[in-house]
Structure 1
Amino acid sequence: MINNQTALLVIDVQNGLAQAADFNSLIAKINQRIKSYREKDQPIIFMQHTDAELPYGSPAWMLAAELAVQNEDQIFLKYHSDSFFETGLQNYLTNRQINQLEICGLQTEYCVDTAIRVGHHLGFKIKVLSGLHTTFDTPLLSAAVAIKYHEDIWNNSFAKVVQR
């Protein structure tokens, strides 16, 4: 029998990214998902990015205080956009027979997109709730357009994007 355990993967909801579009409302929505996973006793995993702009141990590097993180939650540090690269995440999931991931967080076009594509490539079933990820406005693309664009690419190719 195949175990269809799902985990919530929350990517890079950190203080240094707080200027992203709708950051505070994103945290509130993610916290609702966290609550739902806790009620079902399903795993919740947080990724925490480290680089020159989010130096290890700095205030910018810290997970947002409003995020509903608890001691029993698993936190993985990462140094690349790929949540699976040299983090131990894949082994953690495999050892617990988790084969489905719901992915949310930041940044849509970097770490979220990479986690979705790599997770799909590794054989995980991926789900994304529409709007449960965000990014920054850029001179080329607004955050809203980047989010919609990526959801259109992901849906039924790399993930199931569920409209909320």
Structure 2
Amino acid sequence: MKKVLFLIVAAMMATFSFAQEGRGQQRQRMEFNPEEMAQRQTVQLHSVLQLDSIQYQAILLMNYADAVTMQDSINARRARAEKMRAEGKKPERTRPTEEQMKAMMELQKQREEVRNEQMKQILTPEQYEKYLKHKEEQRKNMRRGGQRVPRGGGQGRMPRQ
């Protein structure tokens, strides 16, 4: 009986230790790098819009500026959380008020309008139309929770025998 109990405890400890390792690896992967993000976004647009080299460089610079802004925002949030932890407080995870949400949405809308104007200046009219369609498809995918891949390699269910 003691051996069985010992084996169960050992198996549970091994499971938990592997789970912790996985989280650490995920955290490393989730580190935000503005250069990589800008490059990835630009390559994706290049594959959709067939950008020439001048367009590619202009959009890469735009994406990099946006990524740096995002990085600054992330760093500010982390600094606030670290400061609270240093003071012995738990970082707050409260929802924004309705007014704050409206302000954030308005700011996002303004940023998107500026970006669209910049893209209109960089792209040809045909490319710009493709760009708008691509953005709309991405928005739909985000609402659905991203592209979902069925389990089991996408083969569907196996028929019963």
* TM category, shorter: under 0.3
Kindly indicate which of the two structures has a greater share of residues assigned to strand. 1
Kindly indicate which of the two structures has a greater share of residues assigned to helix. 2
Higher RCO (CA 8 Å, separation ≥ 6 residues)? 1
User: Highest Rg: 1 or 2?
Assistant: 2
TM-score, scaled to structure 1: 0.24
